[in-house]
């Protein structure tokens, strides 16, 4: 027998697939249900005229909710076999941090596969180019590993370049990571860079998230929305390498608008793939420089996390590389040939 939670998840899933129901409409319906104290069964027991009047649903949406659809049921079954959970804004399990940060623009539903406990950990988002420089990839790996050893969850997209480097380094260091997709969960495939962390191992240190209908293929505007969600899931965002336009640049601007602490790698001579880093540093981002031994100086980032709403979740570090160093210097890149 389905529980009330099962029923609301099933209803949210069906609503997301209903004609003309986008994220804003779905969010409005779910929040109106909460305000009126309606569970899924009570909502579906309403007559069409009440659904249309109180919830502004169109006739075709009411018809969709009343009829059986084998294709929708098949998708739901696929998700269950994958171990996917549906997290609904306003319901138990939905990440409080994203609700606080994104407010009324938070994704109404999140599809989640893996360790849901990672949502409660202090988290740092990573943004960067698919074609990051060799130096940028090394900085990503060093930074993600250092944070992972501190018990800080690493959050990023699922593209080549900086994203995969951050996930891989966090897992190599024994830490955890959250992969945020720009497509539906049914398109998720384990990429070669991370396969060894999945083979013969549970998803105990990994969480995969998507805010999109499960069958939705990758789209550019979905990637932009995904970057906003990364900001909402993170206590701070690190820009490794950003151009002067594109997804990473928009993610950095989004973080600034949302008041998410922003950090940007400071290069002495930025490579072409990091042309936008200077923009962020000039507009208030905190610089990440290198210590005398060449590692990222993350003392400022750790301080921000320690002062956040979850300071007790961050273990005290004994690692000397995270301590403040004198005269940190910008990163130098190889001369362009």
Q: Per DSSP, what are the bridge partners of residue 155?
A: 125, 178
- pLDDT number for residue 332: 74
Longest CA pairwise span in the chain (Å): 71
Looking at the predicted structure, is the pLDDT value of residue 275 above 90?
A: yes
Closest to 165 measured CA to CA, from 196, 203, 139: 139
Q: Give the mean model confidence (pLDDT) for residues 215-228.
A: 92
Say yes or no to pLDDT of 335 above 90: no
Percentage of residues in the chain with pLDDT exceeding 70? Answer: 91
Domain boundary among 47, 67, 87: 67
pLDDT band at 61 (very low <50, low <70, confident <90, very high): very high
Q: Which of 5, 7, 87, 92 is nearest to 44 (CA)?
A: 7
User: Where a domain ends, among 26, 49, 67?
Assistant: 67
Q: Quickly count: other Cβ atoms within 10 Å of residue 304's Cβ.
A: 17
Q: Tell me: pLDDT of 308 over 90.
A: no
Domain-located, residue 104 = no
Q: Which residues contact 93 (CB under 8 A, 6 or more apart)?
A: 85, 87, 116
152, 296: one domain: yes
Q: Domain of 164: which CATH number?
A: 3.40.50.450
What does the pLDDT read at residue 4? 86
Over residues 196-215, mean pLDDT: 88
- Asked whether residue 54 falls in the same domain as residue 193, the answer is no
CA distance 271 to 145: 23
318 belongs to a structural domain: yes
Tell me, what's the pLDDT at 324?
33
**Rounded mean pLDDT of 105-118?**
96
CA-angle at 270, arms to 290 and 299, nearest 5°: 25
Query: How far is 217 from 186, CA to CA, in rounded Å?
Result: 9
Rg (CA), the chain: 21
- In this structure, the strands spanning 177-180 and 206-210 are parallel
- Regarding whether 299 and 167 lie in a shared domain, the answer is yes
In a domain, 84, yes or no: no
Q: How many angstroms separate the Cα of 260 from the Cα of each of 14, 108, 179, 234?
A: 33, 20, 19, 8
Residue 7 is assigned to a structural domain of this protein: yes
Note if the pTM is more than 0.85: yes
pLDDT in tens, 159-192: 999 999 999 999 999 999 999 999 999 999 999 9
Q: What is the pLDDT of residue 293?
A: 86
Residue 50 is part of which domain span? Answer: 1-67
Rounded-to-integer distance, Cα 170 and Cα 134, Å: 18
Instruction: Say if residue 191 is in the same domain as residue 49.
Output: no
The answer to whether residue 62 sits within a structural domain is: yes
Q: Supply the DSSP string of 87-147, one letter for each residue.
A: EETTSTTS-HHHHHHHGGGS-SEEEEEE-GGGGGS-EEEEEE-TT--HHHHHHHHHHHHHH
Confidence of residue 326 (pLDDT cuts 50, 70, 90): very low
**What value does the mean pLDDT take over residues 143-168?**
97
| Structure token digits, residue 308 | 């956040």
Does 18 score more than 80 pLDDT?
yes
pLDDT score recorded for residue 304? 93
Per-residue pLDDT tens over the stretch 24-58: 999 999 999 999 999 999 999 999 999 999 999 99
pLDDT per residue as tens digits for the range 226-272: 999 999 999 999 999 999 999 999 999 999 999 999 999 999 888 99
**3-class SS of residue 2:** coil
122 and 29 housed in the same domain: no
Classify residue 94: in a domain, yes or no.
Answer: no
* Residue 134 domain flag: yes
Domain end position, chosen among 36, 67, 98 = 67
Whether 198 has a pLDDT exceeding 90, the answer reads no
In a domain? residue 197: yes
Cα separation, 242 vs 227, whole angstroms: 13
**In this predicted structure, what is the pLDDT of residue 10?**
93
Number of domains comprising the chain: 2
Q: What angle do CA 158, 160, 166 make, to 5 degrees?
A: 65
Which of 182, 172, 185 is closest to 83 using CA atoms?
185
């Amino acid at each position: 027998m389905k529980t009330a939670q099962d029923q609301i998840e099933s209803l949210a899933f069906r609503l997301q697939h209903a004609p003309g129901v986008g994220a804003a409409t779905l969010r409005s319906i779910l929040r109106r249900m909460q305000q009126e104290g309606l569970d899924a069964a009570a909502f579906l027991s309403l007559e069409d005229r009440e659904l249309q009047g109180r919830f502004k649903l169109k006739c075709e949406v009411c018809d969709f909710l009343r009829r059986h659809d084998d294709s929708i049921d098949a998708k739901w079954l696929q998700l269950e076999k994958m171990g996917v959970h549906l997290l609904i804004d306003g319901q138990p399990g939905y990440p409080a941090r994203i609700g606080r940060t994104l407010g009324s623009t938070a994704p109404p539903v999140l599809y989640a596969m893996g360790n849901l406990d990672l949502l409660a950990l202090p988290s740092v988002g990573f943004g960067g180019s698919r074609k990051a420089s060799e130096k940028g990839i090394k900085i990503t790996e060093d930074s993600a590993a250092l944070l992972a050893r501190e018990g800080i969850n690493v959050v990023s997209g699922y593209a080549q370049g900086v994203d995969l480097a951050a996930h891989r380094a966090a897992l190599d260091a024994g830490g955890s990571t959250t992969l945020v997709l720009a497509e539906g969960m049914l398109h998720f495939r384990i990429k070669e860079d991370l396969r060894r962390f999945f083979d013969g191992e549970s998803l105990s240190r990994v969480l995969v998230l998507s805010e999109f209908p499960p069958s939705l293929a990758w789209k550019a505007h979905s990637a932009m929305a995904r970057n906003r969600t990364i900001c909402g899931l993170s206590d701070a965002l690190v820009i490794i390498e950003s151009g002067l336009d594109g997804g990473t640049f928009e993610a950095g601007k989004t973080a600034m608008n949302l008041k998410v602490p922003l950090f940007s790698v400071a290069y002495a001579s930025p490579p072409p793939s990091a042309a936008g880093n200077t923009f962020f540093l000039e507009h208030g981002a905190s610089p990440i420089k290198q210590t005398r031994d060449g590692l990222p100086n993350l003392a400022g980032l750790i301080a921000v996390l320690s002062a956040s709403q979850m300071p007790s979740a961050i273990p005290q570090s004994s690692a000397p590389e995270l301590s403040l160093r004198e005269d940190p210097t910008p990163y130098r890149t190889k001369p362009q040939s």
